[in-house]
Structures are given as C-alpha cells and as structure tokens.
C-alpha cells in the first residue's frame, strides 16, 4: 500500500509540474490553409514545415484542408479560411468580382505549364497544333493562350480543334486519341506520363515562348486583405514558417516527398520523389528567395488578360499582390 501511495504522490507531482509548464506556454492559434488541388509536390514546403513543427514553433496550430465545391479564394473572401493556395488566373477574376484577396507569395518562380503530346504526333512547336485537336478545359484564357501561341509561331489558330476534356486522365486521352495535345504541368503530369506510365511524349513549355505569351504565378499563396490589415503579424509568422519549409524542400527533396506521402499515402511514391527532385531547383530562380514576386510578371500577365478582354482596363494590379510579409531582407 505504501508503495502505491508513494507512486500516486509522485504521479500527482509530475502531473502538477507538467500542468504548470503547459500553463506557462501560450496556446497555439488555429489557422487554416486551403489547397488548390489534392496534395502534390507544389505543396511540399507546406507539408514539410508542418511535419518539422515550424508552424507550431510560430504559435500556429495549422489545419490543411483539401478543396471542396467552394474555392479557397471564396473561403478567404468570406472570412472562413486564413490562407489558400491558388493561381494568378483565378485571383484576378476573383478580385474583379469583389473578393478582397491578395497574393502574398509565389510557390514556383516561373510557370511550369506545357502542352504535351505523344511524340508520334509530330507536334514540336506551337504552329504544329494546326490540324490537331487540343483537349480543352473550356476556359476563355485557355483559348486565348492557344490562339496566341499558334499565331505567334506562324500557324493558323482557326485550324486547331478544341475538344472538351472528358476527364483529367491524360494517359487515356492521348493513347485513345481523344485529343492530340493538352495543357499539363511538367512537375506532375509530364513526369507521370513519361517516367511512370512510360509514354513517349513531347512538350512545348510555355516558358520557352514568353515572346508570345506571359509568364505568370501558378500556384501562389493568398490571404485576405482583412488579414493583412488586421493581423499582419500572423501573416508574417505563417510565411516565415512556410518559407522555412520550402527552403528545406529545395535542399532535401526526398524529405519533402516523404512528408507529402505521410499525409497522403495514396500518392505514388516514385512520382512524388521524381517530382520533388524536379521542382527543387525551380522553387527559386530569379529572384533567388522563395516566394518573391515581381511587378513585371504581374503587369505582363494582367496586360495579356486585358488585351484579350479577360480583365477590365481599370484592374488595379498593384493591389493584387505584395511581398511585404515575406522574410526577405
């Protein structure tokens, strides 16, 4: 009995001590971030920062939410989320519709989009799309980009057949000849089709044709103007932790892939590893700091939208983005 009493007293003392320590520690603040898609390597810095406790160290209890029927930008504007991964082509129309959302960091320094096709189709440059079918998502921006690319390269944009995509399974679409080419992201779809599925594919990277179409930020990290005005320190703390995560993802791509797989074990591990390795040198380029955006990139992209009647002439580009909250000297 004496042994039990001593043990109980010791346990009570330990519990009291732990409670006292916990009472001295400030409670973590709940913060939510909405993804733009299911988990993938674009989010590697986020998952790595979460796994390594960088958000907790900043006093943040982070919840990562996969997107639903309501977009992350809509949730930000409604005050139902704190941060969201999104894209410039989504943020501009959202602001035009009255959503006070602001880009506070770019995830990748340059657009990694490409047009992909089976090599046997002979599509090696934009003008080759004439006489072929393009698997279209049905957006006006998409049509403007395709027409501009083809015409700029000396081709006939009217000779490109726009075929609605029935799904985003590009392997089936290409091999069953539902379309000849489609818009994909090299860090994911191109790697999966070429290196995982073993297809012989060719790409036309958008970044090789910036004499015709603009570069732009896709994806990016956004928050609400209200957060910037009312809680700037939270924005700084979140971005500091996130930046730390992406810096680690650049230095340790396999660790980034592992962090995503831990959170989403259904994703192919080989795809994650190859994609993380491919993206590591592309998160930063010029500028060399992660997250930094440039006025010329935003101005050129919005100018392209305006030239194609996809944004109003009075759109305030400067109000759509800021680097002021990044941990950059």
As to burial, measured by CB atoms within 10 angstroms (0-12 exposed, 13-18 middle, 19+ buried), residue 174 is: buried
Q: pLDDT for 208-265, tens place per residue?
A: 999 999 999 999 999 999 999 999 999 999 999 999 999 999 999 999 999 999 999 9
The mean pLDDT value for 90-114 works out to: 98
Per CATH, the number for 29-110+217-320 is 3.40.190.10
Q: pLDDT for 110-121, tens place per residue?
A: 999 999 999 999
Phi-psi bin for 59: left (phi > 0), alpha (psi -120 to 50), beta?
left
Name which CATH class applies to 113-209: alpha beta
CA gap 46, 259 in Å, rounded = 9
pLDDT of residue 168: 82
The size of the chain, in residues, is: 329
Q: Indicate if the pLDDT at residue 38 is higher than 90.
A: yes
Residues in a beta bridge with 161: 133
CA gap 301, 314 in Å, rounded = 14
E strand or H helix that includes residue 135: strand 133-136
CA gap 37, 257 in Å, rounded = 16
CA gap 222, 230 in Å, rounded = 15
CB neighbours of 148 closer than 8 A, spacing ≥ 6?
Answer: 157, 212, 213, 304, 308
pLDDT of residue 278: 98
Residues of the chain with CATH 3.40.190.10: 29-110+217-320, 113-209
pLDDT of residue 24: 56
Q: pLDDT for 115-168, tens place per residue?
A: 999 999 999 999 999 999 999 999 999 999 999 999 999 999 999 999 999 888
Lowest mean pLDDT, pick from 200-209, 219-228, 285-294 = 285-294
CA gap 236, 243 in Å, rounded = 10
Q: Indicate if the pLDDT at residue 15 is higher than 50.
A: no
pLDDT of residue 26: 74
Nearest CA among 191, 290, 208, 303 for reference residue 250:
290
pLDDT level of residue 3 (50, 70, 90 thresholds): very low
Mean pLDDT over each residue of the chain, to the nearest integer: 92
Q: What is the β-pairing status of strands 201-205 and 181-185?
A: unpaired
């Amino acid at each position: 009995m004496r042994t039990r009493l001593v043990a109980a007293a010791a346990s009570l003392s330990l519990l009291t001590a732990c409670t006292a320590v916990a009472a001295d520690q400030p409670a973590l603040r709940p913060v939510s971030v909405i993804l733009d898609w299911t988990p993938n390597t674009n989010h590697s810095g986020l998952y790595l920062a979460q796994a390594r406790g960088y958000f907790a160290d900043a006093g943040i209890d982070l919840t990562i939410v996969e997107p639903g029927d309501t977009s992350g930008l809509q949730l930000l504007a409604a005050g139902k989320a704190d941060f969201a991964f999104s894209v410039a082509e989504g943020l501009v129309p959202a602001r035009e519709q009255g959503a006070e959302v602001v880009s506070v960091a770019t995830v990748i320094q340059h657009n990694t989009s490409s047009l992909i096709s089976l090599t046997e189709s002979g599509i090696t440059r934009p003008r080759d799309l004439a006489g072929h079918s393009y698997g279209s998502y049905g957006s006006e921006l998409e049509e403007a980009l395709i027409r501009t690319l083809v015409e700029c390269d000396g081709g006939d944009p009217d000779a490109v057949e726009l075929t609605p995509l029935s799904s985003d399974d590009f392997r089936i679409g290409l091999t069953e000849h539902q379309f000849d080419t489609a818009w994909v992201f090299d860090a994911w779809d191109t790697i999966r089709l070429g290196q995982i599925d073993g297809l012989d594919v060719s790409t036309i990277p958008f970044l090789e044709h910036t004499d015709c179409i603009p570069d732009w930020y896709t994806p990016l990290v956004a928050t609400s103007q209200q957060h910037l005005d009312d809680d700037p320190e939270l924005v700084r703390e979140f971005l500091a932790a996130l930046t730390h995560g992406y810096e680690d993802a650049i230095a340790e791509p396999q660790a980034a892939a592992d962090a995503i797989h831990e959170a989403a074990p259904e994703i192919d591990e080989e795809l994650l590893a190859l994609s993380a390795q491919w993206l590591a040198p592309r998160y930063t380029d010029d500028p060399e700091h992660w997250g930094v955006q440039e006025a010329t990139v935003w101005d050129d992209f919005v100018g392209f939208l305006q030239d194609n009647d996809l944004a109003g002439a009075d759109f305030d580009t400067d109000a759509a983005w800021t680097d002021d909250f990044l941990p950059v000297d």
